[in-house]
Structure 1
Amino acid sequence: MKILLVHQNFPGQFPHLSQALVQRGHQVLALTDEKNQRESPVEVVRYKSPEPVQSNGALGRTYSNYAERAYLTARGARALRDRYGFQPDVILGHSGWGETLFLQEIWPQAKLLIYAELLYRTRGQDVGFDLEVQQDSDESRFMTVARSAHLIQGIVQAHAAIAPTRYQADSFPPELRSKITVIHDGIETNRVAPNPEAQLTLPNGRVLRAGDEVLSYVSRSLEPYRGFHIFMRALPEVLAARPDAQVVLVGAEGVSYGGAPSEGESWKAKILAELNGKLDLDRVHFMGRVAYPDYLSLIQLARVHCYLTYPFVLSWSLTETMSAGGYIVASDTQPVRELIRDGENGRLVPFFDVPALSSALIRGLEGDPDAPRLREAARQTILDGYDLQRHSLPRQIAWIEAQAAG
């Protein structure tokens, strides 16, 4: 078949899938933003990057911007059709940025499949979850409804959709949920595995090794959506109880999902100011964003890994840390409970309970006698249902080929 993959930051969720489809004998082409310079495993064509749309109203701004991206994506698709005669049998695109909205008008005969990552909801998810950071107001719910328009339109147009977790699939209402098949992106368990030889050099030159008393925290950005403020508030008690512990945080200072503090500073600056004098900053290491091998070494060597999240998209860092045999202390929130069972393959604590988090982290750092069992069970969870080669890729390929066959 001829398969078109569409993602503004390709390969995004499709690096392994795109290669596997080629190996199956399919012709695979990717369509992405011209500013995206990430290395691609397949041939790539690029559409013109959109400029921000100047909308008079905040409620329509999200849809206006994503509709503009959809239009430029469709122009690129039209050039593929008219200049080069490209006619895909299947289109698979991430619906999050609107790119798939007009593609059926270019190729009405193609099967349109989407990666349905999450539908924003006004209740029961991130909106109104953390009242310290967000207002639970009518206006915030209005904005959420408006921000969902392109996602609903995208799945209504699609023949079928895929989502990585049950929680994320269930964010869609029942009348749309029936279109979604749950298949996780998959973890390279041979690469992301326990490594007793793992080590990481900190910016100050100190070398951390497996077996050291290390507490890790990983997030794309240091922000409340991933519990950064809760984690930091737990540290004074942890550092006081464990004088040899080293804390390593990976993540940028900006925001990826939520908003910046009202004062305009970063969440890191805000929380450090709040905790001024309460932290031994010689033992708290902010790494920023790091290369993948360094990140992998960190989750392999950490004695305890902390993962906190709002009810929202599940992070790859959780599944990869489980695959690496990590001892995980995580938030007792719905997306996490899909993978972590308290006392069976990790430890769960209420998201906002700072003392409980401190106690759980201390317990892990001092040497929880159940740690070997929990680590082994965490890795086994990934091996049993999330392994890339044994589970995810075969199911993804079968799903695509079945949809193409009708």
Structure 2
Amino acid sequence: MRILFVHQNFPGQFLHLAPALAARGHEVMALTDEGNQRPSPIRTVRYKSPPEENPVRGLARTYAGYAERGWLAARGCRALRDRHGYTPDLIFGHSGWGETLFLREIWPEAKLLVYAELLYRTRGHDVGFDPEVTPDSDESRVTTLARSAHLIQGLVQADAGIAPTRYQADSFPPELRQKLTVIHDGIDTGKVRPDPNARLELPDGRVLTAQDEVLSYVSRSLEPYRGFHRFMRALPEVMRARPNAQVVLIGGDGASYGTVPRDAESWKAKLLAELDGQLDLSRIHFLGRVPYPQYLSLLQIARVHCYLTYPFVLSWSLTEAMAAGCHIVASDTEPVRELIRDGENGRLVPFFDQGALEQALIRALAGDPEDARLRAAARQTIVDGYDLQSHSLPRLIDWVESFGA
């Protein structure tokens, strides 16, 4: 088949799939934003970036921005068609940024597949889950509905789609859910694995190893959607109980999913001010965003890894932490329960139970008698059901190729 991948940050979720399809003899190309400089062995063409400033205000703002990106992507595809005679048999794009919205009009005969990551919902998900940050109000629900329009349109137009977890697929209503197949992107468990000899060098030159009492926390951004505020508020008690513990956090200071606080420049600044005088800052290490090998080393040396999240998109960091054989203490929220069973392959605590979180972290740092079993079971969960080479990639290839029959 002639296959066109569409992703504003290609390769994104198609990192392994696109080259694998090319290796099987398909003619594979990718369309991406002109500002994307990520390398890929796949031939890549670019469309014009949308303007940084969206002139539309109010409820239509989100749709207008994504529709503009969709039109620019469609114009790029039109140029491929009219100037170069290119016509794909199959288009596979991420629906999250509107890039697939108008591609049916350029190539009406091509099969259209979408990566449907999540549909925003007004109840039972993030809206109203954390009253401190996400109030349950008419305004927030209406705004959420408005932000969902392009995601619904994207899946309505598609022949089919995939979602990485059941929780994320089930965020779509039944009439759209039937179009979705659940296949995780896959974890390279040969690369992401336990390493008792791993070392992590801190900015001050100190080196941490698995012999140290390391508590790890990872998020793209340090924000409430990933429980950053709950984690920080647990640290005074945890650090008092474990005077040798070293806390290492990876993540940027901005906001990837929610918003920055109104009364501080970042959630990190807000929580440090709130906890002023309660923390031994010499034992807390904010690394920011780091290269992948450094991130992996942190998972491999951690005595305990803490993962907290609203009912929302599941983080890759959880699946990779499990593959690395981490002792996981995680929030008892729906997306997490899909992977972790309390007492079997990790420990679950209620998201808002501060005392339960503190005690779970303290117990793990002190040396949980079940530590070795929990670590092994966490890794086995990923090896059995989420491994890239033996599970996810073969299923993804079969699914894509089924549309060429």
Assess same fold via TM > 0.5.
yes
Counterpart of 1:195 in structure 2 is 195
Counterpart of 2:311 in structure 1 is 311
- Displacement of 1:41 after TM fit? 2.6
- Displacement of 1:404 after TM fit? 2.5
- Displacement of 1:365 after TM fit? 0.3
8 Å Cα contact 2:299/2:305 also seen in 1: yes
Counterpart of 2:113 in structure 1 is 113
8 Å Cα contact 1:319/1:382 also seen in 2: yes
* 1:320-367 deviations in Å (ceiling 9; x for gaps): 000011100000000000000000000000001111101000000000
Counterpart of 1:279 in structure 2 is 279
* 1:383-403 deviations in Å (ceiling 9; x for gaps): 110000000000001001112
- Structure 2 gap segments, 5+ residues each: none
Counterpart of 2:100 in structure 1 is 100
- Displacement of 1:264 after TM fit? 4.4
CA distance in 1, matches of 2:343, 2:134: 32
Counterpart of 1:165 in structure 2 is 165
3-state DSSP of counterpart to 1:121: coil
- Displacement of 1:54 after TM fit? 3.9
Equivalence map 1:32-51=2 (5 Å)? 32-51=32-51
Counterpart of 2:66 in structure 1 is 66
Counterpart of 2:270 in structure 1 is 270
* 1:252-296 deviations in Å (ceiling 9; x for gaps): 000000011012410000000000000000000000000000000
CA distance in 2, matches of 1:56, 1:397: 40
3-state DSSP of counterpart to 1:13: helix
Residue 192 of structure 2 is aligned to residue 185 of structure 1 = no
- Displacement of 1:52 after TM fit? 4.0
Equivalence map 1:169-318=2 (5 Å)? 169-318=169-318
CA distance in 2, matches of 1:52, 1:281: 38
Amino acid corresponding to residue 86 of structure 2 in structure 1: F
- Displacement of 1:211 after TM fit? 2.4
Counterpart of 2:325 in structure 1 is 325
CA distance in 1, matches of 2:56, 2:390: 50
CA distance in 2, matches of 1:375, 1:264: 38
- Matched residue count: 405
- Displacement of 1:56 after TM fit? 4.7
Amino acid corresponding to residue 62 of structure 2 in structure 1: T
CA distance in 1, matches of 2:342, 2:391: 24
CA distance in 1, matches of 2:260, 2:194: 36
CA distance in 2, matches of 1:68, 1:56: 11
Q: Percent identity?
A: 74
- Structure 1 gap segments, 5+ residues each: none
- Displacement of 1:57 after TM fit? 3.4
3-state DSSP of counterpart to 1:5: strand
Amino acid corresponding to residue 224 of structure 1 in structure 2: P
Residue 131 of structure 2 is aligned to residue 131 of structure 1 = yes
8 Å Cα contact 1:160/1:403 also seen in 2: no
Residue 384 of structure 2 is aligned to residue 384 of structure 1 = yes
* 1:135-178 deviations in Å (ceiling 9; x for gaps): 21001000000000000000000000000000000000000000
Root-mean-square deviation (CA), in Å?
A: 0.8
Moved over 4 A (4+): none
Residue 393 of structure 2 is aligned to residue 370 of structure 1 = no
CA distance in 1, matches of 2:394, 2:86: 27
CA 1:184–1:56 in structure 2 vs 1: closer, same or farther (change >3 Å)?
A: closer
8 Å Cα contact 1:214/1:302 also seen in 2: yes
8 Å Cα contact 2:264/2:270 also seen in 1: no
TM-score (norm 1): 0.99
8 Å Cα contact 2:91/2:113 also seen in 1: yes
CA distance in 2, matches of 1:231, 1:162: 32
CA distance in 2, matches of 1:177, 1:114: 13
Residue 89 of structure 2 is aligned to residue 89 of structure 1 = yes
CA 1:53–1:281 in structure 2 vs 1: closer, same or farther (change >3 Å)?
A: closer
CA distance in 2, matches of 1:201, 1:225: 28
8 Å Cα contact 1:34/1:49 also seen in 2: yes
CA distance in 1, matches of 2:148, 2:302: 38
3-state DSSP of counterpart to 2:306: strand
